[in-house]
Structure 1
Amino acid sequence: LFRSKDSVIQTLDIEIADNDYERETGLMYRHSMQEKQGMLFVFKESKPRYFYMKNTNIPLDLIYLDDNYKIVSFQKNAKPNDETTLPSHANAKYVLEINAGLADQWTLKVGDSISY
């Protein structure tokens, strides 16, 4: 659930990746994801995060969130199977992956927040 100043922007069906195996595998090897689906990576601590798209066949927007579930940065339109590092540019405890283009379509901004 995205919120911007207490208004709901979008409701999503998310998978939670909260153990080492799920965080390492993420959305690898999948060939599609419905528009209102995503994956939320949950880490134990907030620090700079570095993702890449190895073996990920779906173009994605990566949304980096702080301890309070507020958006701190984005990596938009990440290309499938690209091993270029996608840094958070800020400390993040959570990372939400959604289909590429949706962050712009939903006009998400730094400071918007989620709840789940």
Structure 2
Amino acid sequence: MFSKRFLLLTFIISNGFILSLSSCKENKKVIKQTEVTFKKEGELTIFKSIDSTQVNLDIEIADTDFDIQTGLMYRNSMDKKQGMLFVFDDVRERFFYMKNTKIPLDLIYINENKSIVSFQKNAKPFDESSLPSNFPAKYVLEINAGLVDIWSLSVGDSISYTKH
């Protein structure tokens, strides 16, 4: 008798769960997210130490808690000559990740003297693995993946930027 009640209860619970799932599927709502677009807030120049050439970019500047936390999340794309510069109040080792970030990126870590100290290349979209600077940094520049190599950037190259 106990085993029949147990089986009946299991059947009811199972069917209830299945019914709940099917009704959830029928009432599923699609939520569309508004595209976040680039807003030019400044200009940045990378000075290559090896051959004195320069790379010029339009940048967004992340210098508030909200902007730093959000970064390039929810973007579908970014032009080759665009980037986001994170500006911190202090100088310490930085740890970034790619949560909710749809586009692959190169991360450039920069010290308080505006000299490049390290890179994290080809960060994968949505990957929440830590991407450490391995050295103290005050700034982090995010650009499209592959550009660090295309532009032949090196540790020791420097940056200058203006805010509009």
Alpha-carbon distance, 1:38 to partner: 0.1
Query: Between Structure 1 and Structure 2, which shows a larger proportion of strand residues?
Result: 1
Task: Return the TM-score normalized by structure 1.
Answer: 0.97
The structure with the larger Rg is: 2
* Matched letter for residue 61 of structure 1: D
What are structure 1's unaligned runs of at least 5 residues? none
2:48 counterpart residue number: 4
Q: Shift in Å at residue 8 of structure 1?
A: 3.5
Identity %: 66
Relative to total residues, which structure has the larger helix share, 1 or 2? 2
Pairwise CA RMSD: 1.0
Alignment of 1:39-50 (within 5 A): 39-50=84-95
Stretches (4+) displaced over 3 A: none
1:24 aligns with 69
> Distance in 2 between the 1:93 and 1:58 partners?
23
* Cα pair 1:15 1:39 within 8 Å, conserved: yes
Aligned partner (choices 101, 104, 119) of residue 59 of structure 1: 104
TM-aligned CA deviation for residue 64 of structure 1 = 0.1
* Counterparts of 2:53 and 2:159, CA distance in 1: 9
- Structure 2 CA distance for aligned equivalents of residues 9 and 59 of structure 1: 23
1:5-51 CA distances to partner (integer Å, 9 max, x unpaired)?
A: 38232100011000100000000000000000000000001100000
5+ residue gaps, structure 2, are 1-44
Q: Which residue of 1 aligns with 2:127?
A: 82
Q: CA–CA distance in 2 between the matches of 1:74 and 1:92?
A: 11
Which structure is higher in RCO with an 8 Å CA cutoff and minimum separation 6?
Answer: 1
* Contact preservation (8 Å) 1:9, 1:106: no
Instruction: Give the TM-score normalised by structure 2.
Output: 0.69
Give the total of aligned pairs: 116
Write the deviation string for residues 72-113 of structure 1: whole angstroms up to 9, x where unpaired. Answer: 000000000000000000000000000000000000000000
Shift of 1:4: 1.9
